[in-house]
Structure 1
């Protein structure tokens, strides 16, 4: 078991009565447990924690009149990753997939897997199925997509990124997810915190369903898999944004940190960790 300390500070100018839903809290799963957490909202206003979905993700909901709003969240999260003999992890036949996993085979707003079938099968269809094929998808994305801050926005999809060959962490995840789904491999988007990420920020990565559970992957290779802390999970980034806001609001600053209590637990990139 490993301990990771996470924190985020978000400051906004609120210009009209506004409603917020934040997805910044550590999710609680079998392999990820929040030991302690603290939330400070300024000015002091009523807020509500609620379950965002069935994956252990939690939302923070609040409403406020015009003001300068700051949200400060920190937590200590215990990770107990299950590391397997990865090359023996197999894909699951469609007829044997649990019903709850099936939605993660479908195209979504940012992951147009239905448009990438021919490309995916040409590039990866002849590879041995299972973990090694997903890893090759990550390798391809890491090699062929340049990480360029500011190169994409909230309207950019996986197909857009494949055309321009540049993006940020969420785009690397979207392309990887779309290619996996095009091959019949269930994949879903994950947002959260990443130990060692430079510069520190909320990070986007993804999970793939192999054997009988979900495994983490990150095509950016910017942080070790064992240092990823999940906050949001969904079909793509539309389901896992760190903030959804209704109202006239301007972000003033964002500060995100993730630090391992014992950095020696971090191991080489690319090794998947069971999180289900």
Structure 2
């Protein structure tokens, strides 16, 4: 599927402030960037970084005053596969070394605190994809999607207590429960077609059958319409803008639309 993405961030910085920005889609084997450009409405020297393992792209800059940052691109995300119940769960000894950090507790996903609950609640479910799907079913049944309950400091443990939150909270709790079940899981920021209202969206991935599978614990957007931006241990690693001092978000706007592919001409 080809998707057109336009994302605009408008921030105010009271003085020269270093920032790290992750709004450009990742370069990876399961999505191809057909065209893209980045527009910033003030002169800025950009330092571009690309993670060779994940293809995640970020840039660093020093910004001041009111600044608009816009990304425009067309991305072909192929045919994203849906997680199957029979997807194989690897023994730890079988996992690639780069996957191991996603088994461990992190700042927003204290999986060790939820281990007793997770292993009791899901003990009867077959290992692998079936367990992950059972975790998503549990989230749907026991956690309400509600704005204003959580904030930027809310952890998966707090969401487990509150039983309410937004996409970031659903993903953190899903990640923590998966890690508590010995399943590697990581946070992912995406652009998502058919998300209403349009916005940056937080989902997660699990490593099964030798690959990462996208999972939306909110079920608010179709997997096949997602464009991966960044991946990491939790929200701290996938923020679309991180600043070295306080700043103000004036507005943000995201639009993701499907590009109708023209039929091939007959020979």
Query: TM class by shorter-chain length?
Result: over 0.9
Distance of 2:99 and 2:53 partners within structure 1: 12
**What SS does the corresponding residue of 1:18 show, helix, strand or coil?**
strand
Q: Is the 8 A contact 1:17 1:247 kept in 2?
A: no
The equivalent of 1:274 in structure 2 is none
Matches of residues 31-46 of structure 1 in structure 2 within 5 Å? Answer: 31-46=30-45
User: Match of 2:93, SS?
Assistant: helix
| Structure 1 match to 2:59 | 60
- Are 1:24 and 1:192, in contact at CA under 8 Å, matched by a contact in 2? no
Say what the alpha-carbon RMSD is for the aligned residues: 1.5
Determine helix, strand or coil for the equivalent of 1:15: strand
Match of 1:5 in 2: 4
* Matching of residues 123-202 of structure 1 within 5 Å: 123-202=121-200
Give the Å deviation of 1:81: 3.0
Q: CA deviation at 1:184?
A: 0.4
Q: CA deviation at 1:40?
A: 1.1
Aligned to 1:252: 250
Once the two structures are superposed, what CA deviation does each residue of 1:70-128 show, in whole Å capped at 9, x if it has no partner?
A: 10111111112353782331111122111111111000001111011110011112111
Q: Does 1:235 align with 2:223?
A: no
Aligned to 1:17, what secondary structure does the other structure show?
Answer: strand
Give, in whole Å, the separation in 2 of the partners of 1:87 and 1:167. 26
Indicate yes or no: 2:102 matched with 1:104.
Answer: yes
Partner Cα separation in structure 1 for residue 260 and residue 160 of structure 2: 38
List structure 1 segments (4+ residues) > 6 angstroms apart after TM superposition: none
Q: Equivalent residue of 2:101, what SS?
A: helix
With over 3 angstroms needed to count, the CA separation of the structure-2 counterparts of 1:84 and 1:41, relative to structure 1, is: closer
Q: 176-185 or 248-257, which moves further after superposition?
A: 248-257
TM-score, scaled to structure 2: 0.94
Does the aligned pair in 1 maintain the 2:85–2:133 contact within 8 Å?
Answer: no
Judge conservation of contact 2:82–2:223 (CA < 8 Å) in 1: no
Provide the secondary structure at the position in 1 that maps to 2:38: strand
| SS across alignment from 1:68 | strand
| Deviation digits for residues 188-242 of structure 1 (CA, Å, limit 9, x no counterpart) | 1001211111111100000001111110101100000111111110011111100
Q: For this pair of structures, how many residues does the alignment match?
A: 261
**Match of 1:267?**
none
1:228-261 deviation line (CA, Å, top 9, x unaligned): 1111100111111000011342111000111122
Scaled by the length of structure 1, what TM-score is found? 0.91
Q: 1:24 to 1:84 in 2, by over 3 A?
A: closer
Structure 1: gaps spanning 5 or more residues? 264-276
Q: Does structure 1 conserve the Cα–Cα contact (< 8 Å) formed by 2:109 and 2:172?
A: yes
Q: Hey, what does 1:215 align to over in structure 2?
A: 213
The worse-fitting range, judged by mean Cα deviation, of 50-59 and 99-108 is 50-59
